[in-house]
Amino acid sequence: MHFGFMSPEVQPALFANREDAGARLGKALARFHGQRPLVLGIPRGGVPVAAQVAKALAGDLDVIVARKLGSPFSPELAVGAVTADGTRYLNAQTIDELDVPADYLDQVTKEKRAEAEARERRFRAGRDPLSVEGRTVLLVDDGLATGSTMIAAARSIRARHPQRLVIAVPVAPRETCDAMHAEADEVTCLETPAFFMAVGLHYRDFSQTEDEDVERILDAWRAPLAAAPAT
> What single letter denotes the amino acid at residue 164?
R
Does 27 map to a domain? yes
Dihedral class, residue 86 (left if φ above 0, else alpha if ψ from -120 to 50, else beta): left
Does 153 map to a domain? yes
Three-state secondary structure call for residue 62:
strand
- Dist. CA 29–CA 35, nearest whole Å: 11
pLDDT by residue for the chain (231 residues), tens only, comes to 333 333 444 466 899 999 999 999 999 999 999 999 999 999 999 999 999 999 999 999 999 999 999 999 888 889 999 999 999 999 999 999 999 999 999 999 999 999 999 999 999 888 889 999 999 999 999 999 999 999 999 999 999 999 999 999 999 999 999 999 999 999 999 999 988 989 999 999 999 999 999 999 999 987 665 444 444
pLDDT given for residue 3 in this prediction: 31
User: 102 CB contacts (<8 Å, ≥6 apart)?
Assistant: none
Instruction: Give the range of the structural domain holding residue 181, as residue numbers without chain letter.
Output: 14-65+123-223
Does 7 map to a domain? no
Closest to 151 (Cα-Cα) out of 176, 129, 131: 176
CA separation, residue 91 to residues 79, 80, 146 (Å): 5, 5, 10
Q: In this structure, what CATH number is given to the domain that contains residue 130?
A: 3.40.50.2020
pLDDT given for residue 74 in this prediction: 86
Does 8 map to a domain? no
Contact 95, 106 (CB under 8 A): no
Structural domains counted in the chain: 1
Does 49 map to a domain? yes
Three-state secondary structure call for residue 60:
strand
pTM (whole model) above 0.75: yes
DSSP summary character for residue 15: B
Closest to 25 (Cα-Cα) out of 180, 139, 146: 139
pLDDT given for residue 76 in this prediction: 83
Q: What is the per-residue pLDDT across 61-109, written as a single tens digit (0 to 9) for each?
A: 999 999 999 999 888 889 999 999 999 999 999 999 999 999 999 999 9
Does 134 map to a domain? yes
Angle at which helix 18-28 crosses helix 46-57, to 10 degrees, equals 40
Closest to 143 (Cα-Cα) out of 7, 46, 9, 28: 46
Does 108 map to a domain? no
pLDDT given for residue 12 in this prediction: 67
SS3 of 75-122: the string is CCCEEEEEECCCCEEECHHHHHHHCCCHHHHHHHHHHHHHHHHHHHHH
